[in-house]
Chain A
Amino acid sequence: MSFEEDILQDFITEAKESLEKLDEEFVELEQDPQNTEILKSIFRTMHTLKGTAGFFGFKTLEGIAHFAEDILSKLRDGLVVADEEIIDMLLQAVDHIKAIVAHIEEHKQEPVEDTYLEFLVTLSNFADKVARRAQGQAPSEPPSREKPPAEESASPEKEPEKAAREKAEEKGEPEKKEPEKKPEPAEVRPVSPEPPRKEAPKAPPQVTLTETHIRVDVKLLDHLMNLAGELVLARNRLVQLANQKVDPELMQATQTLSLVTTEMQEAIMKTRMQPIGNVFNKFPRIVRDLARSTGKKVNLHIEGADTELDRSIIEAIKDPLTHLVRNSIDHGIEPPEERVQLNKPPVGTLVMRAFHEGGQVIIEIEDDGRGIDTEKVKRKAVEKGLITPEEAERMSDHEALNLIFRPGFSTAEKVTNISGRGVGMDVVKTNIERLGGSIEIRSVKGAGTTVRIKIPLTLAIVPALIVVSGGERYAIPQVSLKELVNIEDPEKEIHRIGQSEFYRLRGNIIPLVRLAKVLGQSDGQARSLVILTSGTMDFGLLVDEVRDSEEIVVKPLDRFLKGIPIYAGATIMGDGKVALILDVVGLSRHVGFRAEEARKALEEEKKRKDTSRETHFILLFNVHPEEQFAIPLSLVSRLDKIKAESLEYVGGKELVQYKGHSVPVIRLENYLPIQPLPEQEEYNLLLFEENEKMVAVLVSQILDSIETDLELDEDIYRTEGILGNRIINGRTTIFVDIYKIIEMFDPDWFKKPVLEIHSRILYAEDSSFYAQLVKNYLEGAGYEVEIAEDGVRAWEKLQEGAYDLLITDIEMPRMNGLELIKKVRADERFRDLPIMVLTSISAEEVYRKAKELGADEFQTKLDRQAVIEAATRLLTAKTTTAEAAA
């Protein structure tokens, strides 16, 4: 509703202006009838009038304009000379149009009086006459003397006068034109009170097109704006000074000034405000044409056309909006047949919506088309080399949608003449960002796409944060500001990957830019972090100091400094000094890595760290409350609780009844130099099972199970049955070698392989825990085991001594297991050396790789029995082969 009224209002304003112009031009034309420039201009104006009238369905108006245009075209082409008669008729046409426009303004519709229709007929006949004259070699006869064939006005007299008079008298049209009396027409035309007004109450002469709006030169507005800016600055300075002097009266005065200034600034800003409808109303036509040329049916809904925006922004968003609308129709909305098949109405809907939100203007362009196929987008991006297939796989839908904004991306299967203009969404995005705005896209496949643009209300005066770097102040527009962080300990809080730095903000990795570095200043102790968003990415700007937030007036930099991308302009501070305004998008280019890449790099680094020390779940328990013990959880078969009374002594051995079995009980204090288990009503049991035999370790309490690496200190407790110790949760924790203890409890517990020959095993393992554990159980099985703490060391040891079997971990520092295997297999001397890969968890991928490289066996470290069996198998096979070879 209001939108239609809006555009009608626009039409009326435009028509009034046109009519005024026509008046002037006709006057000029009379003085210089051959002036084709004027003729062309009049013709154009009339043509436009006709067009817009047609658009609104004002038939009479359109008709009059049409015939007037007809006549004008003959004049313009030089087929007829503009004589008084013609000009008079045309002026009459103008007057009628004026009357109609006035009527429309008041009644929102065309007048229905006969007057206009009759004039239309007159004009039409006159136009015919002119046309004939034009055909009949007009110059042969003085055109002004020819008689118009029109019924009423067929008079030998001076046509215009008579026609006018007749009209005035017969039809009650008071308007009268006397173009011959050139000095007068301006006065005569508007009002001629004499003729009696019988009918037509809305006759042309009464027309006084009252002006509620005036046109002001944009330059003047800009100047006003500048002055307002100056005033704001002067005010700021005055306020500063007033704050220094404690004078209540001065204070009062500055406050008033401050208030008035703000209000004036707002008012002036408003003069530059225009409804976004000024842009939106171009779209019905664009949409119609586009729909037609693509064979689609589209209904355009416009909402919030009266939302106001700064003139300069209105200008600047026109192109991006056009592009987005084109995209929606071209790529989004399906052809009618397809829509019907999809159970959608055949006519697609496109909504253009504008509204205010949080001091900004939001513009949405929404269609109910096919939406964006993120898979297709990813494919395309991979094809174009914008991302790797792995990246594509990891990408969320949201990230995939944002690919559209990358330079060099266009989703259209084929380039069409509508969207495929080589201008991509990246340009749209850049343009929006240049305005200090942002753009985001949401899409549901099959249901439609919404593009949301956020732009500031004005560009001239913006709130900004003042920061200091290298002793100079810089302003950062507040729209780009997300939050402020104070870095307490740069060493700890700022992470570094290569040359790039990062900050972890609530789990997000934010790349950092040091302002001093960007500006080429010596880097001070920048501890204030300003988190900024460029629209597409967040990043942190490290500055020396953060000051207040201020309203600043944006002054453009002149051409000598325009080329520097990190500045958006300059502003004058309260003290009269100039400060540069930083361009956040420009600054974001100084981000070494994007957050994504940083995350990847960090992950990899983490993985590197992790793999050099694998993490495991360990079980924490105590025997005596003062000592804490740990054991890898995966070694434990079961955990349970028992009552003290279910413990029994049989034949000098302590047993516990567990699920129908008598299970031998081990008290750790019997084997380790630790404090004894106190008497308890209830105990915890750790059950270990091997070869269908079960043993229970009696402990006091299960404390926790945690994930940790297994880096151990071995020096404190060098005792059999203890692998080492480590501080966990603030307490020294002893890692128990449960295999050793079981063996101490019952030397025959584990089946011993029958070893015919003495074999030496080299075990490459960086974790001291595993090295110790595996070594212990292998030695328990009768092998000699040598530990190498990484691949490099293992390789060295292989050179030094003879080994019958190489067991290797995969993840190790310096040289990992795979590299080691490769190296070993590449060497003639070790071609037949059996290799077993031991991992902490089974991993198919690693096994496959290891096998390709020539590993013979794969086992998990904690599977004692399987490892021993495999070792035996490999060593036996080796011996056999060697014997066979011998």
Chain B
Amino acid sequence: MAELPLPASETRPVLSEDTQTFVTFWLGEHLFGLPIAEVVEINRKMEITPVPLAPAYIKGIINLRGQVLTTVDLAERLGLQVEAPRAYNLIVRTEDEERISFLVEKIGDILEVPSKNVEEPPERIEGVERKFVRHVCQLPERLLVILNVREVLQDSG
């Protein structure tokens, strides 16, 4: 099940520099990233048990080898209009060592970028509330939005 995509080799040309590695994933047109240290594993098509009465962005609970994890539909949480099915479960470790599963559309590359390119978010980011964004990183093609997991999970309990 676990299928961590291999790091794309062309994304690490700057070995000497101080770099950061992000696991990236797609939600519609948006490319998001999380520091690799925060991502535990990625699973596909896990069976989700819905939890009635839970907030709408909580899609349900899953069984991760005996551990019951809450699954958050990230698109819903971030308020993005995403039509495509979200088939990937990104298992994330929070600062408090809690584990939570984020439902995402598809997994992108694992990117290693120079730290200097990782910047504070601008005042306005299209489509995403600023508080959910920890950093941004301008890639040649598009903006990589690094999520603030703590914020994403705030007020969700």
Are the CB atoms of A572 and B70 closer together than 8 Å? no
Contacts of A706 in B (CB 8 A): none
Are the CB atoms of B66 and A229 closer together than 8 Å? yes
Are the CB atoms of A472 and B68 closer together than 8 Å? no
For B70, the closest partner residue in chain A by CB is: A560
A229-B98 Cα distance, complex, nearest whole Å: 20
B133: interface (CB < 8 Å): no
For A233, the closest partner residue in chain B by CB is: B66
A518, A563, A567, A578: the one contacting B157 at CB < 8 Å is A563
Query: At the interface with chain A, which of B7-15, B19-27, B47-55, B83-91?
Result: B47-55
A557-B98 Cα distance, complex, nearest whole Å: 12
For A553, the closest partner residue in chain B by CB is: B66
B residues 41-74 in Cβ contact with A at 8 Å? 47, 49-54, 58, 60-63, 66-70, 72
B153: interface (CB < 8 Å): yes
A521-B50 Cα distance, complex, nearest whole Å: 11
Given contacts A559-B98, A561-B58, A570-B61, contact A230 B52 (CB under 8 A): no
A444-B70 Cα distance, complex, nearest whole Å: 50
A470-B153 Cα distance, complex, nearest whole Å: 28
Bitwise, A561-593 to B at CB < 8 A (1) or not (0) is 111101100101000111110000000000000
A625-B139 Cα distance, complex, nearest whole Å: 104
Are the CB atoms of B50 and A472 closer together than 8 Å? yes
A520: interface (CB < 8 Å): yes
A559, A563, A577: the one contacting B49 at CB < 8 Å is A577
Are the CB atoms of B49 and A579 closer together than 8 Å? yes
Contacts of A860 in B (CB 8 A): none
For B62, the closest partner residue in chain A by CB is: A578
Bitwise, A325-368 to B at CB < 8 A (1) or not (0) is 00000000000000000000000000000000000000000000
Are the CB atoms of B100 and A578 closer together than 8 Å? no
Are the CB atoms of B49 and A472 closer together than 8 Å? yes
B53, B69, B156, B157: the one contacting A566 at CB < 8 Å is B53
Most chain A CB neighbours (cut-off 10 Å) among B50, B68, B70, B153: B68
Are the CB atoms of A577 and B98 closer together than 8 Å? no
A40: interface (CB < 8 Å): no
Are the CB atoms of A570 and B68 closer together than 8 Å? yes
Most chain A CB neighbours (cut-off 10 Å) among B62, B66, B67: B66
Are the CB atoms of B66 and A559 closer together than 8 Å? no
A577-B45 Cα distance, complex, nearest whole Å: 13
A576-B51 Cα distance, complex, nearest whole Å: 17
Given contacts A519-B53, A521-B52, A564-B51, contact A559 B63 (CB under 8 A): no
B52, B63, B98: the one contacting A572 at CB < 8 Å is B63
A555: interface (CB < 8 Å): yes
A558: interface (CB < 8 Å): yes
Are the CB atoms of A560 and B53 closer together than 8 Å? no
Are the CB atoms of B100 and A560 closer together than 8 Å? yes
A residues 221-279 in Cβ contact with B at 8 Å? 226, 229-230, 233
Contacts of A577 in B (CB 8 A): 47, 49, 63
Bitwise, A503-518 to B at CB < 8 A (1) or not (0) is 0000000000000001
Contacts of A555 in B (CB 8 A): 67-68
A563-B157 Cα distance, complex, nearest whole Å: 6
Are the CB atoms of A567 and B68 closer together than 8 Å? no
Contacts of B153 in A (CB 8 A): 560
Bitwise, A531-557 to B at CB < 8 A (1) or not (0) is 000000000000000000000000111
B58 shortest CB reach to chain A, Å: 6
Given contacts A566-B53, A570-B61, A578-B61, contact A561 B70 (CB under 8 A): yes
B104 shortest CB reach to chain A, Å: 17
For B157, the closest partner residue in chain A by CB is: A559
Given contacts A560-B100, A562-B157, A577-B47, contact A226 B61 (CB under 8 A): no
A555-B70 Cα distance, complex, nearest whole Å: 12
Are the CB atoms of B69 and A558 closer together than 8 Å? yes
For A226, the closest partner residue in chain B by CB is: B66
Are the CB atoms of A560 and B157 closer together than 8 Å? yes
Are the CB atoms of B58 and A560 closer together than 8 Å? yes
Contacts of A564 in B (CB 8 A): 51, 53-54
For B99, the closest partner residue in chain A by CB is: A558
Given contacts A558-B98, A561-B58, A570-B68, contact A576 B63 (CB under 8 A): yes
For A562, the closest partner residue in chain B by CB is: B157
Contacts of B51 in A (CB 8 A): 561, 564, 567, 580
Contacts of B54 in A (CB 8 A): 560-561, 564
Bitwise, A450-488 to B at CB < 8 A (1) or not (0) is 000000000000000000001010000000000000000
For A570, the closest partner residue in chain B by CB is: B68
Contacts of A557 in B (CB 8 A): 61, 68, 70
For B50, the closest partner residue in chain A by CB is: A472
For A563, the closest partner residue in chain B by CB is: B157
B137 shortest CB reach to chain A, Å: 28
Are the CB atoms of B53 and A558 closer together than 8 Å? no
Contacts of A521 in B (CB 8 A): 52
Are the CB atoms of B58 and A520 closer together than 8 Å? no
A233-B69 Cα distance, complex, nearest whole Å: 17
A519 shortest CB reach to chain B, Å: 4
A559 shortest CB reach to chain B, Å: 4
A481-B58 Cα distance, complex, nearest whole Å: 30
Given contacts A560-B58, A560-B153, A563-B157, contact A230 B66 (CB under 8 A): yes
Are the CB atoms of B49 and A580 closer together than 8 Å? yes
A558 shortest CB reach to chain B, Å: 5
Are the CB atoms of B66 and A560 closer together than 8 Å? no
Contacts of B156 in A (CB 8 A): 560
Contacts of A559 in B (CB 8 A): 98, 157
Most chain B CB neighbours (cut-off 10 Å) among A520, A555, A559, A561: A561
A68 shortest CB reach to chain B, Å: 43
For A578, the closest partner residue in chain B by CB is: B49
A583 shortest CB reach to chain B, Å: 12
Contacts of B69 in A (CB 8 A): 558
Most chain A CB neighbours (cut-off 10 Å) among B52, B70, B153: B52
Contacts of B60 in A (CB 8 A): 578
Are the CB atoms of A561 and B61 closer together than 8 Å? yes
A226-B66 Cα distance, complex, nearest whole Å: 9
Contacts of A566 in B (CB 8 A): 53
A577-B69 Cα distance, complex, nearest whole Å: 12
A466 shortest CB reach to chain B, Å: 13
A577-B47 Cα distance, complex, nearest whole Å: 7
Are the CB atoms of B47 and A576 closer together than 8 Å? yes
A584 shortest CB reach to chain B, Å: 16
A485-B112 Cα distance, complex, nearest whole Å: 62
For B69, the closest partner residue in chain A by CB is: A558
Contacts of B66 in A (CB 8 A): 226, 229-230, 233, 572
B15 shortest CB reach to chain A, Å: 39
For B66, the closest partner residue in chain A by CB is: A230
For B98, the closest partner residue in chain A by CB is: A558
Contacts of B100 in A (CB 8 A): 558, 560
For B57, the closest partner residue in chain A by CB is: A560
A229-B68 Cα distance, complex, nearest whole Å: 13
Bitwise, A692-717 to B at CB < 8 A (1) or not (0) is 00000000000000000000000000
Contacts of A580 in B (CB 8 A): 49, 51, 61
Are the CB atoms of A558 and B70 closer together than 8 Å? yes
Contacts of B72 in A (CB 8 A): 560
Contacts of A470 in B (CB 8 A): 52
Contacts of B49 in A (CB 8 A): 472, 570, 577-580
Contacts of A226 in B (CB 8 A): 66
A-B contact pairs, 5 of them (CB 8 A): A518-B52, A559-B98, A560-B70, A560-B156, A578-B68
16 new A-B pairs (CB below 8 Å) besides A519-B52, A559-B98, A570-B49? A230-B66, A520-B52, A521-B52, A557-B68, A557-B70, A560-B54, A560-B58, A560-B100, A561-B61, A561-B70, A563-B157, A564-B53, A577-B47, A577-B63, A578-B62, A579-B49
Could you tell me which B residues sit within 8 Å of A by CB distance? 47, 49-54, 58, 60-63, 66-70, 72, 98, 100, 153, 156-157
Q: What are the 9 closest A-B residue pairs judged by CB atoms, nearest first?
A: A519-B52, A559-B157, A578-B49, A230-B66, A555-B68, A570-B68, A560-B70, A578-B61, A578-B63
